[in-house]
Structure 1
C-alpha cells in the first residue's frame, strides 16, 4: 500500500462520516480516527520491521476545496466590505470568558482600537483590535474554533 492509497483512504473515511476505520494486511496495519476537529491519525506499522511507526496526515485538502467553492460567489457580494483577518494561528474566541458578553455582534458599530475577539495561541490570549471604523456585517468564524494566519474573521462595512 503506497502513500497515494493511504491518502485516498483518508479522504474516503472523512467523507463517509465514520469515526474510526482499521485496516490490516500482512505487512501493514492502518488505523484512521476522525474527531470533532476533523483530525486524522494514520499509523502504519510494518509487521516485520519496527514495533510502531506513526505517520500523520492532515485531511485539509478536501476541506479548503469545499470552503473555497462557496466563497467565490460571496466575494463578489462582499467586495464593498473590509475583511478583518487573523494576524496569528490559534483558537478564536468571541468573548473574554464563558460568562461574559460577546466583544462584538452583527450590526454593532465599531471604532479603531475596539477589541473584536481573542485568539489564543500557546496559552496566551491575544486581543484582536479593529484597525477600521464601521459596522460589523458578518462574523465568519464560529466561537472556539481554530483559525489560521490571514484567515478572514469579520466583514466590516466602513460606510
Structure 2
C-alpha cells in the first residue's frame, strides 16, 4: 500500500474520531487502530421499570411474596448482578427451589440472565427458604434480595 493512502486513512481516522479502520480488497488488506486517548462513552442511568401485576398461573410451583407482605427475618440471598431472574433452567423444568425447601451453600437457587449469558446463582448459606421475593422473568438489580433463608 502506498504511504499516501495510509496518511489519508490516518487523517480520516483523526477527523472522524475513529478508533479503528479495516479495509480489504482482493489485492490488499489494512487494519489501523488508534491507541491514543481512551474513548469514554457516557452511560445513562438505567430506566426504572414498572410492571403491571401478573395474574398467578394455575399450578405454579413457586410462592411469590406479595409487596405488602412483611419480610421474614433471616438471611437474604441477593442478586450478584443486574439481569433477569428465572426460577428454572427453562420454562418446562421445575423450579430450582421453592418456599419450604432446605438449601446448602452450594445449592443452585435460580438463574440470572445478563447479556445473553445464563448465570447459576448459589445459595451461599444454609437453611430453609421462607420467602421468594422476586417473580419469574422479573428484572433484578445488583444487591436486590431474591430469597429469605432462615438457618
Cα distance per residue 1:45-94 (max 9 Å; x no partner): xxxxxxxxxxx99456x99xxxxxx77x935xx33x00100000000000
- Coordinate RMSD, CA, aligned: 2.5
Mapped to 2, the partners of 1:57 and 1:144 lie a distance apart of 18
Which has the larger strand fraction?
1
Note if 1:154 corresponds to 2:147. yes
Where in structure 2 are the equivalents of 1:1-159 lying within 5 Å? 58=47, 74-75=70-71, 78-79=72-73, 81-158=74-151
Q: What is the TM-score of this pair, normalised by structure 1?
A: 0.52
Distance 1:143 1:126, change over 3 A: same
Return the alpha-carbon distance in structure 2 between the equivalents of residues 57 and 101 of structure 1: 32
Gaps of 5+ in 2: 1-44, 52-66
Displacement of 1:155 after TM fit? 0.4
Q: Which runs of 4+ in 1 moved over 2 A?
A: 56-60
Question: How many residues end up aligned between the 2 structures?
Answer: 92
The two structures have a TM-score, normalised by structure 2, of 0.55
SS of the residue corresponding to residue 96 of structure 2 reads coil
Q: Which has the larger radius of gyration?
A: 2
Can you list the C-alpha shifts for 1:13-42, whole angstroms capped at 9, x where unaligned?
xxxxxxxxxxxxxxxxxxxxxxxxxxxxxx
Q: CA–CA distance in 1 between the matches of 2:95 and 2:150?
A: 19
Measured after TM superposition, the shift of residue 112 of structure 1 is 1.2
Alignment match, 1:53: none
